[in-house]
Amino acid sequence: MQEMSKKIALVTGANKGIGLGIAHQLAKRGITVLLGARDTARGEQAAAKLRGEALDAHFVRLDLVRPETIEAAAASIAAQFQRLDILVNNAGINDPADGPPSTADLNSVKRAMETNFLGTLAVTQAMLPLLRRAAAARIVNLSSGLASLEKNGDPAWDFASFKLIGYNASKAALNMLTVQPAYELRDTGIKVNSVSPGFVATDMNEHRGTLTIEEGAAGPVRLALLPANGPSGRFFSGDGFHPW
Ligand code: NAP
């Protein structure tokens, strides 16, 4: 059986990009990291890469739009570790047929909502019993500056032209999935926060981002390791708060 002192973290969409960066940084801190991925070969390969650095990393099959994989992942974590200390809801998509409200493909908007919001809600619900069994669990939601209602309404904002109704709305909905669970869990040791990683060079933006994966992973990792007196139900970017 796993020693109680060693934390267990699940990072969704951890086979590449910011998710793999978060998994790497958490594992380097001595945490047992479960790399959620929808593709077995890609997930196994990413976990093997971390194990090659003598880190404690394991692949868990988890596809946000396939409920049976979420249920199976929760059952396997329960059987192997009995609890979960950290859940990083990182997996997400930016659908190519998304666009401004006047022209966005409706199926594309649906796909964004199904993965980024509903899928994340399903994973959170499935993992909550395991998170409740940990001493002081942390949930970190990978949101985006593009989620901000305040920024979306500011024509002078640097990203004002990034009007993707599906992506931006799904991440705004994800922010609700921070505020509401933080309220529901206010009398437990569990903290729930949203974070914008910044504009990070990954496949999602054809590597046009200006931050490295290590830089983008730093904020989510900090929130995954918040001390007992840390905040809950807040939206962060960098070291500070981000406007909702
Ligand atoms: P990425 O390189 O495209 O990685 C996305 C990850 O999510 C991949 O592992 C992908 O798996 C996984 N994924 C997608 N759909 C999934 C599903 N249905 N089930 C399970 N996994 C799924 O993107 P990234 O830039 O690292 O993004 C990570 C998170 O940060 C996302 O939530 C994104 O919205 C957010 N974010 C990114 C930026 C940025 O500048 N990059 C900015 C703000 C927020 P596959 O490899 O199988 O596709």
Instruction: Give pLDDT, residue 1.
Output: 44
Instruction: Give pLDDT, residue 3.
Output: 53
Query: How far does the centroid of ligand 1 lie from the alpha carbon of residue 212, in Å?
Result: 15
Query: How far does the centroid of ligand 1 lie from the alpha carbon of residue 41, in Å?
Result: 17
167 catalytic residue (yes or no): yes
Length of the chain: 244
Per annotation, catalytic residue among 59, 167, 199, 235:
167
* Domains with residue ranges and CATH for the chain: 8-241 (3.40.50.720)
Residues with CB under 6 A from ligand 1: 12-13, 15-19, 38-39, 42, 62-65, 90-93, 115, 119, 142, 144, 196-197, 199-200, 202-205, 209
Predicted structure pTM score: 0.98
The preferred substitution site among 24, 38, 205 for testing ligand 1, maximizing ligand atoms within 8 Å of CB, is 38
d(C-alpha 175, C-alpha 205), whole Å: 21
Instruction: Give pLDDT, residue 143.
Output: 98
Per-residue pLDDT of the chain (244 residues; tens, 9 = 90+): 445 579 999 999 999 999 999 999 999 999 999 999 999 999 999 999 999 999 999 999 999 999 999 999 999 999 999 999 999 999 999 999 999 999 999 999 999 999 999 999 999 999 999 999 999 999 999 999 999 999 999 999 999 999 999 999 999 999 999 999 999 999 999 999 999 999 999 999 999 999 999 999 999 999 999 999 999 999 999 879 999 9
Query: How far does the centroid of ligand 1 lie from the alpha carbon of residue 115, in Å?
Result: 10
